[in-house]
């Protein structure tokens, strides 16, 4: 157990993060993290766990890239910053609001970075910008917490799923061991991590995998929501567990009409046009960026596909069939369209394909297949839920690449992607991605891209390339965007492969990209 007078320095956290980054061994990562957690006091433990998971512990600090990079911060020569001092500074930054907040934040940041060494400055800047990537992934941290507190990893994992917080879970494990972790349950008003779906290779593959009876639901292109109600109090959380209750008053109003005293519902919300078809995804998401939801023009409607708690009874360990019965009893009018499929019938594949066609015809992005005997695996991407939707691919031009950080330090990673201008102009940028890049591709890019650099002498964060390389990109869709000159942006883009058989003249045009917009947006 940690010494009661332990004073952990920031340099210790930075060193542990560097050790994790330097190895590909999961055991070595776990050992390095557990050793640091062993040294942390009870107060320092949740802070350190949050940081090494890429979280400041105080949410988003409202700090922009330019406010950190454009200001001069001469590094300190001696590493004296403590974990407690940095955490206090983060708390101060998070609490600043109102007139003059930008200059006040800058003053606190200047004071903090002025006390940090060069290595500590890099760590703090990445942490404040939400860009800390060093291999201390959630699964490894779960194992490190288990090792440090001598409790089973399964107990840590379940408590994390139900509490939604690694830091809280670590503190619970330290304070009460496996008994305290086992006591963590679903709490109305506290979000739990949502269950996620795995992509299905095909309808037949999903049928074979799920085996038994299943629900085939429409997959909406909306925003995931988790709704909690206790008497006349309602909470609405996003997929990332952010509380957006104040921004969606119409959802709160509709939930208050449900015939139930306490409930936890999982679902989606989206805005519909006058014809009842879904509006573009970003119009729904814009509501969650609005300080006051009641000022927004779009009306959001909730659609639910699961019931996790009803009137004092937790249902997450019950089969989906029971949870759907509870959902129908509480909110049948708000249920996402679904049909029940028996995998044993000869026409099961035809039924699923018909449901997929219906979902696409109504403007949705596909369907979800869910085994009716599955429990709710909070925070897991299990095989009990599988998603089926069309996959779009585009051949795009690589315009630039950014030098990576964390495990990708020293490698050219994030790609800038452009579509061909049918009028013969320069390629038009439509997005960025680093998804799908294998270690081999990262090394190939790093070795090859300098030969295509517009200015070989340039040494900045971005290497701009002559528009000659073509890459095949898979994506979930396209949305309207002011961020890029083509007026569109790729959604969930990932690299499939490079196309040495194609030149920039063979790349897809900006018109082909825009054709993937939902009809209303197009």
What's the CATH number of domain 392-514, 2.40.50.140, 3.40.50.1370, 1.10.287.1080, 3.40.50.300?
2.40.50.140
CA dist., res. 338 & res. 370, Å (int): 10
> What is the DSSP track for 33-91?
HHHHHHHS-TTHHHHHHHHHTT--SSS-----HHHHHSS--PPPSS---BHHHHHHHHH
Q: Quote the pLDDT of residue 294.
A: 46
**Which of 29, 219, 387, 432 is an active site residue?**
219
Q: Quote the pLDDT of residue 71.
A: 67
Alpha-helical (H) ranges within 334-381 are 348-361
Q: Exposed, middle or buried: residue 309 (CB in 10 Å: 0-12, 13-18, 19+)?
A: buried
HEC readout, 376-421: CCCCCEEEEEEEECCCEEEEEEEEEEEEECHHHECCEEEEEEEEEC
What's the CATH number of domain 10-182, 1.10.8.590, 1.10.3260.10, 1.20.1730.10, 1.25.40.10?
1.10.3260.10
Q: Shortest CA distance to 161 belongs to which of 146, 181, 179?
A: 181
Contacts of 97 (CB under 8 A, 6+ apart): none
Domain ranges in the chain? 10-182, 196-387, 392-514
Q: Quote the pLDDT of residue 430.
A: 95
Q: Quote the pLDDT of residue 520.
A: 57
Q: Quote the pLDDT of residue 3.
A: 47
CA dist., res. 329 & res. 307, Å (int): 10
- pTM assigned to the model: 0.69
CA dist., res. 376 & res. 156, Å (int): 17
Active site residue 389: no
Q: Shortest CA distance to 412 belongs to which of 448, 458, 436, 445?
A: 445
Q: What are the pLDDT digits (tens) for 138-147?
A: 778 999 999 9
Q: How confident is the prediction along the chain (522 residues), in pLDDT tens digits per residue?
A: 454 456 899 999 999 988 887 887 889 989 999 999 999 999 999 999 999 988 888 877 777 666 666 667 788 888 899 999 999 999 998 888 888 888 888 888 889 999 999 999 989 988 887 666 554 567 789 999 999 999 999 899 889 988 888 999 999 999 999 999 999 989 999 999 888 888 787 788 888 889 889 999 999 888 899 999 999 999 999 887 889 999 999 999 999 999 999 999 999 998 887 777 887 776 777 777 655 444 555 788 999 999 999 999 999 989 999 999 999 999 999 999 999 998 878 899 999 999 999 998 888 889 999 999 999 987 777 789 998 887 778 999 999 999 998 788 899 999 999 999 876 678 999 999 999 999 999 999 999 999 888 887 777 889 999 898 999 999 988 998 888 988 999 988 999 889 887 788 788 999 889 988 876 555
> Superfamily for 196-387?
DNA ligase/mRNA capping enzyme (3.30.470.30)
Contacts of 96 (CB under 8 A, 6+ apart): 62, 104, 105, 108
Q: Quote the pLDDT of residue 445.
A: 96
Q: Quote the pLDDT of residue 293.
A: 47
Tokens of 48: 């350190």
Q: What are the pLDDT digits (tens) for 505-522?
A: 788 999 889 988 876 555
CA dist., res. 98 & res. 512, Å (int): 45
């Amino acid at each position: 157990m940690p010494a009661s007078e332990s004073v952990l320095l920031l340099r210790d956290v930075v060193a542990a993060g560097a050790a994790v980054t330097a190895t590909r061994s999961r055991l070595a990562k776990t050992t390095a993290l557990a050793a640091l957690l062993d040294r942390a006091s009870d107060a320092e433990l949740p802070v350190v766990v949050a940081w090494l998971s890429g979280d400041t512990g105080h949410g988003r600090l409202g700090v922009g890239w330019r406010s950190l990079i454009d200001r001069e911060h001469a590094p300190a020569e001696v590493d004296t910053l403590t974990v407690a001092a940095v955490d206090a500074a983060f708390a101060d930054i998070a609490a600043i609001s109102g007139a003059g907040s930008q200059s006040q934040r800058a003053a606190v940041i200047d004071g903090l970075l002025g006390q940090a060494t060069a290595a500590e400055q890099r760590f703090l800047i990445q942490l404040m910008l939400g860009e800390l990537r060093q291999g201390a992934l959630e699964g490894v941290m779960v194992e490190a917490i288990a090792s440090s507190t001598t409790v089973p990893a399964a107990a840590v994992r379940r408590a994390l799923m139900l509490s939604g917080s690694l830091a809280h879970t670590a503190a619970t494990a330290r304070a009460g061991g496996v008994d305290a972790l086992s006591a963590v349950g679903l709490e109305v008003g506290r979000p739990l991590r949502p269950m996620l779906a795995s992509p299905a290779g095909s309808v037949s593959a999903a049928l074979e995998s799920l085996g038994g009876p299943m629900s085939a639901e429409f997959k909406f292109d909306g925003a995931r929501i988790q709704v909690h109600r206790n008497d006349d109090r309602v909470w609405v959380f996003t997929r990332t567990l952010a509380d957006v209750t104040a921004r969606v008053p119409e959802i709160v109003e509709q939930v208050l009409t449900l015939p139930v005293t306490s409930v936890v519902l999982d679902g989606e919300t989206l805005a519909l046009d006058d014809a009842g078809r879904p509006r573009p995804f970003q119009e729904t998401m814009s509501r969650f960026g609005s300080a006051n939801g009641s000022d927004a023009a779009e009306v959001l409607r909730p659609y639910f596909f699961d019931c996790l708690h009803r009137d004092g009874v937790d249902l997450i360990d019950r089969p989906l069939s029971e949870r759907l019965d509870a959902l129908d009893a509480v909110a049948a009018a708000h249920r996402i369209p679904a049909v029940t499929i028996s995998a044993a019938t000869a026409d099961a594949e035809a039924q699923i394909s018909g449901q997929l066609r219906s979902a696409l015809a109504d403007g949705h992005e596909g369907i979800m297949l869910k085994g009716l005997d599955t429990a709710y695996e909070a925070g897991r991407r299990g095989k009990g839920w599988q998603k089926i939707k069309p996959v779009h691919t585009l051949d795009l031009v690589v315009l630039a690449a950014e030098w990576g950080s964390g495990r990708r330090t020293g490698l050219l990673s994030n790609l800038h992607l452009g579509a061909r201008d049918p009028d013969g102009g320069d390629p038009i940028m439509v997005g960025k991605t680093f998804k799908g890049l294998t270690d081999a591709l990262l090394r190939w890019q790093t070795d090859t891209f300098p030969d295509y650099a517009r200015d070989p002498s340039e040494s900045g964060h971005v290497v701009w390339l002559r528009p000659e390389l073509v890459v095949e990109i898979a994506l979930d869709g396209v949305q309207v965007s002011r961020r890029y000159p083509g007026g569109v942006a790729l959604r969930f883009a990932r690299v499939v492969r490079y196309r040495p058989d194609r030149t920039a003249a063979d790349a897809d045009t900006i018109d082909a990209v825009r054709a993937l917009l939902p009809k209303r947006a197009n």
